Amino acid sequence: MADANTAQKDEGQNSAENGGQEIVVANRYRILVESPLPELDLGEAKAYVTRDDKSPKEPLFARICPADGVPRLEILNNIKHMMDANLLRPVEGEGVVWPGEEGRRIAIVFRKPDHGVLLPADVAKINPLHPDELAKTFLAPAVLTLGYMAQRGLSHRAIRADNIYWHGGGRNSILLGDCISHAPALLQPVLYETIESGMTPPIGRGVGTIRDDFYSLGVAILVMAQGCLPLKGYTDDQIIDAKLARGSFAALMNGERPPFGLRELLRGLLSDDPFERWGLEQLEQWLGGGLRSSVQEVRTGAVERSYEFDGKEYTNCRALASAFGNKWSKAGKVILDTGFEKWLRRGADDLSIADRIRKTLSIGGLPDKSKGADARKIAQTCMIMDRHGPVRYQGLVAMPTAMGLMLADAFFRKDAKAIKRIADSISSGAVSDWYTLQGGAEVIIYEAEINELKQMQHLLKQTALGFGVERCLYMLNPTYPCLSDILLDTYVQSIREVMPALENNVKIHGSLPTIVDRHLAAFIACRIKANIDKSLTVLDAAQGDPVAIKLGMLGVFARLQSKYGPDHMPFLTQWLAKELESTVDRVNGKSTRDQLLARVRSVGETGSLVDLHNCLNNDKIIRQDEMARKKAVKEFSDAAREISQLESKEFQESAQRMGWRIATGISSSISMATIAFVVLS
């Protein structure tokens, strides 16, 4: 991805071509602002015709991501280089200033697909595909592509019939659509999602795993085989209820016979048990004609008797868990109720659920029934009842891998309550509990995520500058731009863009509103490939001392400049030099102070923050100055003592005594000489 220098150079380069406005990406791709492609719009991301300066005939288009979006830029480079995959491949992505919009938007340039989508949004029915044709033109390329993605540890999370394109001369293949311009599974209808993902708000679904993609693929196969969407007219809640009541396969078939030859395939892909669900191996065997075993249908969480909660009857633990998640304050008392426990023991298909809930609630002592269980215990109870479901904590409903996205969304909306709720869910251990309660091999699979959570918990405990929830935001969203007000709406996404942005802001405005804030410190701490926690602790200790803070940040900026450039930053350096001139007063010695001041002023013109830092944060000079000061103090007091001695009465008296002694000496000498002379003569 091109750096901010290029992007900033692009600002103002909006030249007219054929009478239209253009936005240039990566100095090469020209997005024609006045040539929209509504047929290629995706959700809130609008599509526009795009031209490549180096290959003008290549059919390209760009999607402009919404301002509140969190595009998956961290996988862009990976997908860009998957040359053999049947995937709508991106060519370039960059932050651009879009006409008529505040702030920057991410623009992603794609190669234009040969044909349209399998099932356009405005089309109710298409010709169903024959199973053989479906296997050859649809399933085989999809499995190949998902295989490539799985090898790289990626998930698509946007597989649906209106995001898959026909491909090739005779529409003999498909291209899986754009999975970058929106958060994972954000635009997925509940129909295409697993039960647990369907019960989660779209922004909270997270990256999931490739198993979620196989489920979506199964639904897409069903759609293509039937030629239309199943469960038409059903609301999202009705779809989830149907899946919970009958299992996804049965619910989606809705009493109809599955297409010939696709029963095992659909049953395998639409299994509600992610471990039973078909994966790459089974699909490849099925494509090769070798797999005929089928997956047992399960109704996960089913309970024989109903349970009444908040005016509604529930016959499924998972549905009840979802209700608890939404009405968590009421759930706190219900889960302590013996009636609830009896209901679980009598009717749940998993008899251990009641024991596990009891055990969990007993840790630390059973809570007082009148007060109800605390939020963490409610969350744990929901997790036991719905093992694969999302984290449900104080009204927050999200998959554990979606915490970063939720944070990004909350910060964008400036929702302080939501930010606190997400932070509390991490620091209280509720999110870690999700992984722990998966048990067994899952804990090993999620080792990286668990370690990341431990790191988040440690960061959330510290409120110092550069730590806290802001640091979590940038750690969990590696391509999220910095939200610091200091950057004055400059889009800064990578650490290399920070210094040029600050330099530019000082150049335009003459100064920065402040030298550091929580977002900037957290962004730098997160993205710099070094540990600056020590510097951050020093910065935090200096709160209330603006000069010390500026000195501390100078050290950080110098480090950034030395690592990432640019080498010459005259505006920022001069501004900082002027702001920090008063720090020269720390030096006691006037001649050293004058020398240092002259040096600071000359360094300001060179544009080197590194030199400025070496000048002002030089411990050696301070130490030497202090030693010289102590020496000067000693000399001054020695001089004063000597003066006092010389002016004292004792000195005068000693002079007199000395005179007497000399007189006596002279007298005795004369006497001796006389005696000697007389005796010898």
Partner 1 sequence: MAAAKSKKGSKPLSIAVGVLVLIFAALPTATLLAMGLAPTLVARIVDRTPGRYLMKCVAWMNVAGLVPYLTKLWFSGHDMATAIKMVTDVYTWFFVYSAAGMGWLLFLGLPGAVAMFRALNAKRRIYFLREKQKDLILEWGECVLPAGDDPKKLKELAAESNSPDNEGSTPVHPPANVTTRA
Nearer to partner 1, 114 or 626 (CB): 626
- Please state, in angstroms and rounded to a whole number, the distance separating the CA atoms of residues 275 and 284: 17
Cα within 13 Å of Cα(669), Cβ side: 6
- Name residue 63's beta-bridge partners: 47, 108
Nearer to partner 1, 448 or 678 (CB): 678
H or E segment and range at residue 537: helix 533-541
Per CB under 8 A, 637 contacts partner 1:
yes
Q: Is 81 helix (H, G, I), strand (E, B) or coil?
A: coil
- Name residue 62's beta-bridge partners: 48, 109
Estimate the crossing angle of helix 430-438 against helix 447-461, to 10 degrees.
160
- Please state, in angstroms and rounded to a whole number, the distance separating the CA atoms of residues 576 and 512: 10
Q: Which of 588, 595, 606, 624 binds partner 1 (CB under 8 A)?
A: 588
Q: Which of 439, 591, 619, 650 binds partner 1 (CB under 8 A)?
A: 591
Per CB under 8 A, 627 contacts partner 1:
no
Would you call the peptide bond into 566 cis, given omega within 30 degrees of 0 as the criterion?
A: yes
Per CB under 8 A, 647 contacts partner 1:
yes
Per CB under 8 A, 652 contacts partner 1:
yes
Per CB under 8 A, 275 contacts partner 1:
no
Q: At closest approach, how far in Å is the CB of 612 from partner 1?
A: 24
Per CB under 8 A, 635 contacts partner 1:
yes
Per CB under 8 A, 649 contacts partner 1:
no
Nearer to partner 1, 17 or 594 (CB): 594
- Select from 311-319, 403-411, 546-554, 672-680 the region that touches partner 1 (CB under 8 A): 672-680
Name the residue among 326, 325, 365, 359 with its Cα closest to residue 344.
359
Cα–Cα–Cα angle for 401, 303, 268, nearest 5°? 55
Sign (positive/negative) of CA torsion 347, 351, 352, 358?
Answer: positive
Q: At closest approach, how far in Å is the CB of 624 from partner 1?
A: 14
* 3-class SS letters over 451-514: HHHHHHHHHHHCCCCCCHHHHHHHHHCCCCCCCCHHHCCCCCCCHHHHHHHHHHHHHHHCCCCC
**Number of chain positions touching partner 1 (CB under 8 A):** 37
- Select from 112-120, 122-130, 496-504, 659-667 the region that touches partner 1 (CB under 8 A): 659-667
Nearer to partner 1, 127 or 681 (CB): 681
Q: Which residue has the tokens 């009478």?
A: 19
Nearer to partner 1, 582 or 637 (CB): 637
Per CB under 8 A, 513 contacts partner 1:
no
Cα within 13 Å of Cα(545), Cβ side: 14
Q: Which of 120, 513, 566, 659 binds partner 1 (CB under 8 A)?
A: 659
Per CB under 8 A, 124 contacts partner 1:
no
- Name residue 49's beta-bridge partners: 61
- Select from 219-227, 232-240, 374-382, 656-664 the region that touches partner 1 (CB under 8 A): 656-664
Q: Which of 235, 352, 455, 671 binds partner 1 (CB under 8 A)?
A: 671
Q: Do 294 and 267 touch, CB atoms closer than 8 A?
A: yes
Nearer to partner 1, 369 or 641 (CB): 641
Nearer to partner 1, 260 or 677 (CB): 677
Amino acid identity for residue 516 in this structure: V
Q: Would you give the binding string for partner 1 spanning residues 234-273, x where CB under 8 A is met?
A: ----------------------------------------
What token pair was written down for 55?
A: 């290959």
Q: Which positions lie near partner 1, rule CB under 8 A?
A: 588-591, 629, 632-633, 635-637, 639-640, 642-643, 646-647, 651-652, 655-664, 666-668, 670-671, 674-675, 678-679
